[in-house]
Amino acid sequence: MTILVTGGRGAVAGNLVPLLRQRGLPVRVGSSAPEGADTVRCDLTDPNTFPAALDGIASVFLYAEPSHIDAFVTEAVSAGVRHIVLLSSAAVFFDRADDSPLAKSHLDVERALIGSPIQATLLRPGTFAGNALAWAWTVKSGEPISLPFPGAHCDPIHEADMAGCAAAVLADPTLGGRPYTLTGPQSLTFAEQIDVLGRAIGREIGIKPVSRQEWKAAMADHVRGDFADALLDWWQSCDGVPATLTATVEELTGRPARTFDAWAREHAGKFTH
C-alpha cells in the first residue's frame, strides 16, 4: 500500500513521512522540486507530472491546490487510488466561503474529491502555528510587529500534530471518509502569541497597532489584494472572540495537541538568527 505524500518540502509533509515509515508503510514523496532517490516530481500545478507520481499508489496525502484538481482526481481514479487525505482548512467554514479566495481554493478541492469515487478524508486545521514565521524578519530586526487586530483570536496548531492526524487516517482507512476539524489546545490572541514568542527568545517583542489600510499597503508585495482583504475580514471577525477548540488531535493521535509555547521554543532560533 504505497502512499504518495505531496508537498514533500512542506512542514506537514516533512513530519508525516517519517511517521508513516515508522509504521512500516511504503512512502513515495512528491515534490515540485524533488531531491533524493525516494522523491518523484509531482507538481500540483502541472498535470503532466501526475501519471508517474500516481503509478502504483493506493493512498495520497494531498495539499489543497485547486488549479488542476479535476485532472489529478481523474488520474488518481485511473491509477487505482483508493484513499485521499486532504490537508484542507477551517476557512471553509467562513461566512460566504465561496466569495473568499482563502476558503474557495480549499472548497474547490474538497468538492472535487467528494464528487469522485475515491474515499476522501478532509483534515481542516485552523491557524498553522508556523504562520508566526511571517514575523521572524521583523523580530530579528528588533522592530515592533505591525498588527491591525492584535486582539484577534486564533487556534495555533503545530505542524507535527497535523502530520500525526494524517498518519493516523492513512494507516487506518476505517477512520477515513469524513471531515475532521483540527485545532491547537489554546485560543490565543495575536498579542498573546507574540508574548509567548518573546519568552521563548528571552526578550520583549513590541507591537505596533496599524489600520487595515496600512497593513494591506505594507504587505502589497507579499499578499495579493483580495487575499489580504479576506485575511483582514477574518481577523476582524475574530477580534475579541475566542476560537472554538476541538479535541480531534488527541482523539486521532492518542496524545494532547502541542501548545504554541512548545512550537515557539522549538523554533526560537528562526526569530534570533
What pLDDT, on a 0 to 100 scale, did the predictor assign at position 273?
A: 82
Identify any residues that bridge with 29 across adjacent strands, giving them in sequence order.
5, 39
Q: At what angle do helices 101-114 and 69-79 cross, to 10 degrees?
A: 20
Of 24, 23, 166, 149, the residue nearest 88 (C-alpha): 166
- pTM score, two decimals? 0.95
Model confidence pLDDT, tens digit, residues 41-80:
999 999 999 999 999 999 999 999 999 999 999 999 999 9
What pLDDT, on a 0 to 100 scale, did the predictor assign at position 158?
A: 98
What pLDDT, on a 0 to 100 scale, did the predictor assign at position 36?
A: 76
What pLDDT, on a 0 to 100 scale, did the predictor assign at position 91?
A: 92
Positions of the chain with pLDDT lower than 50, given as ranges: none
What pLDDT, on a 0 to 100 scale, did the predictor assign at position 241?
A: 97
Q: What residue ranges define each of the domains in the chain, with the CATH number in brackets?
A: 3-128+158-183+244-258 (3.40.50.720)
What pLDDT, on a 0 to 100 scale, did the predictor assign at position 94?
A: 86
What pLDDT, on a 0 to 100 scale, did the predictor assign at position 149?
A: 98
What pLDDT, on a 0 to 100 scale, did the predictor assign at position 173?
A: 86
Name 16's Cβ contacts closer than 8 Å, sequence gap at least 6.
Answer: 5, 61, 163, 166, 167
Dist CA 162 CA 166 (whole Å): 6
> Where in 95-150 does DSSP place strands (E)?
119-125, 145-147
Model confidence pLDDT, tens digit, residues 10-30:
999 999 999 999 999 999 999
What pLDDT, on a 0 to 100 scale, did the predictor assign at position 37?
A: 73
Q: Specify whether the CB–CB gap between 149 and 190 falls below 8 A.
A: yes
